[in-house]
């Protein structure tokens, strides 16, 4: 990774600095919301699916979990995440370049993921930039495949934290239940300039009991 092409930035609401690449998916409001929503614990083994530049793991790092793992299909993104976590911050994270659907690991206690938002009905919809295409569209990882894989990788009572478009909430709840997970906590996110919720933060638990806590809404300001 040529850091001369990258710029130094900071994680919102932290004092953590890290590098971002101009061609890769940039940390945005959703990243910050998910990073602060995830309840990371000291004994957790945390897996970030689609780690990109490692931003979500940097949020998790602040809680001093037992171990951090980041997986991304793009090798260059993994190189950047590795630098941000292991060289710039000495977090001793395990960064793996791999398609998550082919990834094998002993079960973990916590998964975080800011997944692709958009279904692909026409390949013309895909961004020509492969980094952005993989981050935004379900070309390589559908919501159904993600939930199935997350369940396979979690220990019983392990937690999945994710953010998605609010209109996918029912898909998420049904997909979780199909894969032996229960949605335990949700928080709807509104843009102050719009009337409908834009996204939803999710905590799901493998082999958890039915019952969901709905948190007060979060409104983002422009």
pLDDT surpasses 70 at 127: no
What H or E segment, with its residue span, contains residue 6? Answer: none
Give DSSP secondary structure letters for 91-111: ---EEEES-GGG---S-EEEE
Domain boundaries, the chain: 3-220
Residue 116 is encoded by which pair of tokens? 């692709």
DSSP state of 164: E
pLDDT in tens, 145-180: 999 999 999 999 999 999 999 999 999 999 999 999
pTM of the model: 0.91
Query: What percentage of the chain reaches a pLDDT higher than 90?
Result: 78
pLDDT in tens, 31-64: 999 999 999 999 999 999 999 999 999 999 999 9
Q: Tell me which of 70-84, 123-137, 194-208 is least confident.
A: 123-137
Instruction: Work out the average pLDDT over 198-216.
Output: 97
| Alpha-carbon gap, residue 56 to 3, rounded angstroms | 20
CATH of span 3-220: 3.40.50.150
Alpha helical stretches, state H, 24-74: 29-37, 55-61
């Amino acid at each position: 990774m040529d850091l001369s092409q990258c710029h130094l930035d900071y994680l919102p609401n932290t004092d953590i600095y890290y590098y971002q690449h101009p061609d890769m998916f940039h940390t945005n409001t959703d990243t910050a919301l998910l990073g602060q929503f995830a309840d990371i614990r000291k004994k957790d083994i945390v897996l970030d699916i689609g780690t990109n530049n490692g931003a979500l793991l940097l949020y998790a790092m602040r809680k001093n979990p037992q171990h951090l793992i980041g997986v991304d299909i793009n090798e260059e993104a993994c190189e950047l995440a590795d630098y941000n976590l292991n060289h710039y911050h000495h977090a001793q994270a395990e960064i793996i370049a791999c398609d998550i659907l082919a990834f094998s690991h002993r079960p973990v206690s916590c998964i975080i993921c800011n997944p692709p938002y958009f279904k692909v009905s026409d390949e013309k919809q895909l961004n020509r930039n492969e980094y952005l295409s993989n981050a935004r569209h379900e070309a390589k990882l559908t919501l159904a495949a993600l939930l199935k894989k997350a369940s396979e990788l979690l220990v019983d009572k392990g937690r999945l934290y994710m953010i998605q478009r609010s209109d996918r909430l029912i898909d998420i709840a049904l997909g979780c239940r199909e894969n032996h997970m229960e949605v335990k906590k949700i928080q709807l996110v509104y843009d102050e300039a719009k009337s409908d919720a834009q996204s939803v933060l999710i905590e799901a638990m493998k082999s958890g009991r039915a019952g969901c806590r709905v948190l007060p809404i979060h409104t983002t300001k422009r």
